[in-house]
Amino acid sequence: MFNIFESNKEDLLYIVDNFGREVSINNKTVKAIITNNVVSEYEDRYILSTQSIKRGELVKDGTENYLVITESVSKRYSKYKAIMRHCNYTLDVPKEVCKLIGRDSSGRPVYDCTNQLIPTPVIVDNKSFSIMEGAIRLPNNQILVTMQDNVANKTEMVTNKEFELMDSTWVVLNVDLTKNGLLLMTCEFKSEV
């Protein structure tokens, strides 16, 4: 029987293939339709794809980076749809990078490990995280840094961690993990660089 409320998958694939563009989601090329959201102080966009989109995924559209900030756990009318927000800063997150240089006399691997700074796109704001208007303002000396929740970020960005951003040194006061896929860090100003 024909269901008027069910979308035609072939039509949706045709639309995405012909009107969508290639974007990178977590370094994987995906075809998606990107549309504008309402005009606000944030650069929020809708992303629509036939492939799964999860909160916290990093989307690279051209030269700009966005973080998916809404959940999209199931398909809606044969597609996934979410809101992504422009990453307005890049934070250098230290990461230990190890390179295999050989084996010891017992055959065990020997690594040369160095700390490298990995540029990580983040969203920095002076209001508590909200998609709707009416967000609560943080104190003048605090910011909210939102970044992708992954092993490297979660390992390095912990309470009392100091980092440099916006020509200042900041200290992580709290790491909020209540939004799957995102690290929400309340940070306090320490000093100017």
The per-residue pLDDT for range 58-116, each reduced to its tens digit, is: 999 989 999 999 988 777 766 788 999 999 999 998 888 889 999 999 999 999 999 88
Average pLDDT over residues 8-25: 73
Amino acid at 127: K
Find the Cα–Cα–Cα–Cα dihedral 129, 49, 150, 113, rounded to 10°: -140
Query: What pLDDT score was predicted for residue 5?
Result: 57
The per-residue pLDDT for range 107-152, each reduced to its tens digit, is: 999 999 998 888 999 999 987 655 555 556 667 789 999 999 999 8
Query: What pLDDT score was predicted for residue 132?
Result: 53
Average pLDDT over residues 24-36: 89
Integer Rg of the chain from CA = 20
pTM for the whole structure: 0.80
Q: 93: how many CB neighbours lie within 10 A of its CB?
A: 20
Please check whether residue 158 is in contact with residue 152, taking contact to mean a CB–CB distance below 8 angstroms: no
Query: What pLDDT score was predicted for residue 58?
Result: 96
Average pLDDT over residues 5-11: 62
